[in-house]
């Protein structure tokens, strides 16, 4: 809708005290107003303020670093920050406070960058603290950090374009010819108009190797050399391959970072020394205090910030008997001790904002760097050509120095010296000017010979530079060598540790549940029922699906832990309390759905325990048997799924839960049976152990079944007791008849 503005009435004469045109109502189109007034602002914020360019810097950062470079601060001496800020205002007229804030965030003392650009002295605050403010610029000093040599090394060799500053009194670079992918080396965050960027940092050594790998093979696997981001503050990154692939491919996505901590047993306290980059010490401490006051965190006796000159430290005092592992798992869930980092790789490329993945960003940087090296080579080539041209003119007078002196002496007017030399020796004006400027003391054969000896070397250098200009492969080789040198000079070990997502134990707040006796039933088709003794006494036969039958039945408690082993070598942990009390007239809960098993996965066995004592016995079709301690399936937090629950080297014939060692009877497809004591098999803490050979089998045979031996099951049990491994014995008499009846 059109907007109306009030203006003063038009006046044909001079009206004292009124603005001409004030009060007049003029209709304006809102779209036109936005385009004229808002769009220039939006474009300025996007292109000249908030988003980094391919050299990894925003305009304000580039202006600051370039000014410090021109001030000679790439050497040993520092200068007062106030002096630096004043000089930067010649390029960046946004006020001293904004410039100093930029310097602080680039400094080593602030600890926000993996590779700081400013070597600071004094209090520059801390990125991980909201309340630790930096000192005023008159109290601090700074210079450029050593890594800036790689940013300014070629800047005087026409590698990048220069433009006028805001008042056209100075020149400043459009980009810096940085010799490593700084865009991904340090984190960068910015909010523009309608768009934003949030770039995480990567380890410099890994990044250089990845760039080299991509230059050699554009289809190289990034994860072989660049597994995950690396943050200045360290921490522990929870690595999920699928999430990271999405970030690498699209430039968008998120991952979780958790704090690094240790437990001091003598003081009964937890010391947190590294936190995620997206939070601060004060936020964490305030949240823990708030939870403790509302009785949602009863395990904590006290929490305090003990950050000092040695670095970050949050101390959490525990009450007696508190398990630090369980407490930290809980804190990771309800505080920012674990936090998400959302990636948005929005970068200006050629003046256009683009969201790029890691591979595309490195390809764009490589293209930018190749242009820088090409321009540097062209610059060096021209310089050498100019020098060679001058030396060729100097060589021309070598044959007759006296003639050159005579021409100069006999020339009456100074303006005629150069033309006469050109005529006398057949050289051009530039060469003649150079010869004419030679000092009298240098007019000797020794000096001229020394200078002209450079000619052959210059010719070789020029030929080499021309080859480089004509070959992209040679330019790539130069960049590869530079990246290798940067990685060697400035590379550091990873600070952020990787934790794999499928190994993380998630904290689940256990609710106090009533404990009472229950009967548990598990069917061959994977259905489960929990029935109280009273309900069982009053019920009739079990309702089952057609063809299904009860495979296991046991007495337990409502607080029992239940382990459901699947046919995909995985185990799913649930509790009896997770199931409602049922009846025999119901089908029960379908375990693959309840436990959220993978598609096509079946539950084959149920184990019940309260203290994880005893063993699990796995019997495989190849005749091997593995005895695994139940404690191997115990976790400190309530993990729902454990991988590699048993060996996958051979199909599973049977699973048995053993409270203690006993005799087990194996039956093979050949009809042979073997009776052995499980004490003969050593127990293992490794879940997916292949076990030992229990029953020897002939070709084409396999173990069909295994059962705990009950007294009276066999007429002559000694017939089947053998030393392991053994073939077993064929049944006779009663046992043969029973097997015949069973099919």
Per-residue pLDDT at 300 exceeds 70: yes
Whether residue 281 contacts residue 128, with contact meaning beta carbons closer than 8 Å, is answered with: yes
Q: What is the dihedral of CA 122, 128, 130, 132, to 10 degrees?
A: -20
Q: What is the DSSP string of 263-286?
A: EETTTTEEEEEE--TT--HHHHHH
Q: What is the pLDDT of residue 278?
A: 92
Among the residue ranges 34-43, 120-129, 269-278, the one predicted with the least confidence is 34-43
Per-residue pLDDT at 13 exceeds 60: no
Collapsed DSSP state (helix, strand, coil) of residue 738: helix
Whether residue 326 contacts residue 637, with contact meaning beta carbons closer than 8 Å, is answered with: yes
Q: What is the pLDDT of residues 254-299, one digit of tens each?
A: 999 999 999 999 999 999 999 999 999 999 999 999 998 887 888 8
Burial 294-311 (b: 16+ CB within 10 A, else e): eeebebbeebebebeeee
Q: What is the DSSP string of 137-180?
A: TTT-EEEE-GGGHHHHTTGGGT-S-EEE-TTSSSEEESS---SS
DSSP 34: I
Per-residue pLDDT at 496 exceeds 90: yes
The Cα–Cα gap between 486 and 208 comes to 8
Q: What is the pLDDT of residue 722?
A: 86
The CA-atom distances, in angstroms, between 611 and each of 401, 562, 637, 658 are 105, 11, 14, 13
The CA-atom distances, in angstroms, between 293 and each of 194, 243, 296, 685 are 40, 37, 8, 42
| Residue 139 bears catalytic tag | yes
Residues 6+ positions from 113 with CB-CB distance below 8 Å: 105, 106, 186, 187, 201, 232
Q: What is the pLDDT of residues 560-600, one digit of tens each?
A: 999 999 999 999 999 898 888 888 888 899 999 998 888 88
Whether residue 539 contacts residue 585, with contact meaning beta carbons closer than 8 Å, is answered with: yes
What integer is the mean pLDDT of 113-121?
96
How many percent of the chain have pLDDT more than 90? 60
Q: Which two tokens mark 352?
A: 């256009």
Closest CA to 266 of 317, 328, 337, 325: 317
Q: What is the pLDDT of residues 182-228, one digit of tens each?
A: 999 999 999 988 899 999 999 999 999 999 999 999 999 999 999 89
**What structural domains and CATH numbers belong to the chain?**
3-43 (no CATH), 51-173 (3.90.199.10), 260-336 (3.30.1360.40), 366-489 (1.10.268.10), 510-610 (no CATH), 618-627+652-743 (2.120.10.90)
Q: What is the pLDDT of residue 218?
A: 92
Mean pLDDT taken over the chain: 88
> 16: pLDDT confidence band, cut at 50, 70 and 90?
low
Burial 725-740 (b: 16+ CB within 10 A, else e): bbbbbebeeebeeeee
Per-residue pLDDT at 72 exceeds 90: yes
Q: What is the pLDDT of residues 638-691, one digit of tens each?
A: 678 888 899 999 999 999 999 999 999 999 998 899 999 998 998 888 888 889
The CA-atom distances, in angstroms, between 440 and each of 154, 249, 301, 433, 443 are 36, 68, 89, 15, 5
Q: What is the pLDDT of residue 719?
A: 87
Among the residue ranges 36-45, 47-56, 89-98, 445-454, the one predicted with the least confidence is 445-454
Q: What is the pLDDT of residues 506-550, one digit of tens each?
A: 544 444 456 789 999 999 999 999 999 888 888 888 888 888 899
* Rg (alpha carbons) of the chain, rounded to whole number: 40
Among the residue ranges 161-170, 269-278, 451-460, the one predicted with the least confidence is 451-460
Q: What is the pLDDT of residue 742?
A: 46
Q: What is the pLDDT of residue 185?
A: 96
The Cα–Cα gap between 52 and 196 comes to 10
Q: What is the pLDDT of residue 584?
A: 87
The Cα–Cα gap between 452 and 530 comes to 101
Collapsed DSSP state (helix, strand, coil) of residue 596: coil
Q: What is the pLDDT of residue 535?
A: 87
Closest CA to 576 of 532, 536, 534: 532
Of 139, 166, 500, 516, the catalytic one is 139
Residues 6+ positions from 21 with CB-CB distance below 8 Å: 7, 8, 9, 10
Per-residue pLDDT at 79 exceeds 90: yes
What integer is the mean pLDDT of 457-462?
91
- Maximum mean pLDDT: which of 21-30, 40-49, 472-481: 472-481
Q: What is the pLDDT of residues 367-384, one digit of tens each?
A: 999 999 999 999 999 999
Please name the residue that has the structure tokens 């000896």.
453
Q: What is the dihedral of CA 687, 690, 691, 697, to 10 degrees?
A: 150
Q: What is the pLDDT of residue 264?
A: 93
Q: What is the pLDDT of residue 519?
A: 93
What integer is the mean pLDDT of 397-412?
81
Whether residue 103 contacts residue 143, with contact meaning beta carbons closer than 8 Å, is answered with: no
Q: Comparing 279 with 408, which gets the higher pLDDT?
A: 279
């Amino acid at each position: 809708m059109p907007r109306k503005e009030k203006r003063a009435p038009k006046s044909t004469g001079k009206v004292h005290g009124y603005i001409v045109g004030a009060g007049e109502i003029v209709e304006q189109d809102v779209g036109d107003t936005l385009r004229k007034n808002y769009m220039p602002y939006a474009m300025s914020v996007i292109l000249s303020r908030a988003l980094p360019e391919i050299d990894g810097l925003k305009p304000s950062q580039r202006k600051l670093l370039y000014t410090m470079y021109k001030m000679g601060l790439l050497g040993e001496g520092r200068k007062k920050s106030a002096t630096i800020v004043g000089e930067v205002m010649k390029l960046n007229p946004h006020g001293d406070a904004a410039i100093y804030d930029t310097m602080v965030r680039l400094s080593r003392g602030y600890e926000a960058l993996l590779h700081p650009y400013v070597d600071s002295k004094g209090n520059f605050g801390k990125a991980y603290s909201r309340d630790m403010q930096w000192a005023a610029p008159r109290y601090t000093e700074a210079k450029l950090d050593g890594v800036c040599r790689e940013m300014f090394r070629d800047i005087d060799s026409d590698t990048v374009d220069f433009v006028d500053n805001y008042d056209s009194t100075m020149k400043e670079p459009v980009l810096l010819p940085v010799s490593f992918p700084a865009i991904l080396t340090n984190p960068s965050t910015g909010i523009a108009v309608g768009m934003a960027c949030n770039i995480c940092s990567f380890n410099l050594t890994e990044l250089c190797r990845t760039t080299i790998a991509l230059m050699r093979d554009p289809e190289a696997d990034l994860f072989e050399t660049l597994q995950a981001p690396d943050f200045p503050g360290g921490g522990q990154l929870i690595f999920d391959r699928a999430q990271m692939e999405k970030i690498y491919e699209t430039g968008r996505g998120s991952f979780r970072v958790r704090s690094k901590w240790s437990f001091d047993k003598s003081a009964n306290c937890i010391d947190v020394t590294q936190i995620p980059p997206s939070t601060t010490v004060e936020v964490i401490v305030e949240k823990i205090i708030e939870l403790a006051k509302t009785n949602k965190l009863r395990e904590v006796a006290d929490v305090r910030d003990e950050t000092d000159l040695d670095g970050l430290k949050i101390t959490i005092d525990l009450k007696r008997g508190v398990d630090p592992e369980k407490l930290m798992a809980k804190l990771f869930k309800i505080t920012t001790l674990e936090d998400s980092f959302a990636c948005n790789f929005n970068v200006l490329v050629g003046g256009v904002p683009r969201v790029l993945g890691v591979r595309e960003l490195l390809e764009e940087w490589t293209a930018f760097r190749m242009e820088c090296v090409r321009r540097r080579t062209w610059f060096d080539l021209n310089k050498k050509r100019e020098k060679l041209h001058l030396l060729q003119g100097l060589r021309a007078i070598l044959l007759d120095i006296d003639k050159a002196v005579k021409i100069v002496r006999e020339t009456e007017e100074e303006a005629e010296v150069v033309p006469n030399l050109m005529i006398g020796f057949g050289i051009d004006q530039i060469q003649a000017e150079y010869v004419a400027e030679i000092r009298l003391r240098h007019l000797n054969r020794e000096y001229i010979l020394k200078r002209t000896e450079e000619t052959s070397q210059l010719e070789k250098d020029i030929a080499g530079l021309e080859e480089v200009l004509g070959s992209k492969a040679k330019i790539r080789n130069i960049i590869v060598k530079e990246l290798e040198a940067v990685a060697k000079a400035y590379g550091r070990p990873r600070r952020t540790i990787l934790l794999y997502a499928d190994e993380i134990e998630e904290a689940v707040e256990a609710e106090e549940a009533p404990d009472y006796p229950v009967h548990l039933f598990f069917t061959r088709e994977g259905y489960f029922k929990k029935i109280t003794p009273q309900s069982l006494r009053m019920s009739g036969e079990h309702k089952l699906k057609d063809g299904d039958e009860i495979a296991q039945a046991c007495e337990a408690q409502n607080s029992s832990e239940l382990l459901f082993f699947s046919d995909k070598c995985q185990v799913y942990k649930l509790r009896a309390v997770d199931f409602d009390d049922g009846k025999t007239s119901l089908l029960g809960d379908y375990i693959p759905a309840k436990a959220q098993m993978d598609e096509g996965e079946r539950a084959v066995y149920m184990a019940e325990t309260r203290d994880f004592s005893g063993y699990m016995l796995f019997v495989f079709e190849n005749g091997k048997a593995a005895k695994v301690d139940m404690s191997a399936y115990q976790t400190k937090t309530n993990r729902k799924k454990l991988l590699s629950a048993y060996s996958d080297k051979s199909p599973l014939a049977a699973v048995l839960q053993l409270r203690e060692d006993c005799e087990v009877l194996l039956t093979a497809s050949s009809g042979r049976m073997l009776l052995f004591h499980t004490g003969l098999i050593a127990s293992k803490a490794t879940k997916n152990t292949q076990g030992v050979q229990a029953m020897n089998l002939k070709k084409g045979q396999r173990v069909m079944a295994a059962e705990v031996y009950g007294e009276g099951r066999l007429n002559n049990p000694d017939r089947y007791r053998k030393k392991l491994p053994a073939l077993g014995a064929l049944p006779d008499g009663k046992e043969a008849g029973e097997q015949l009846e069973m099919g």
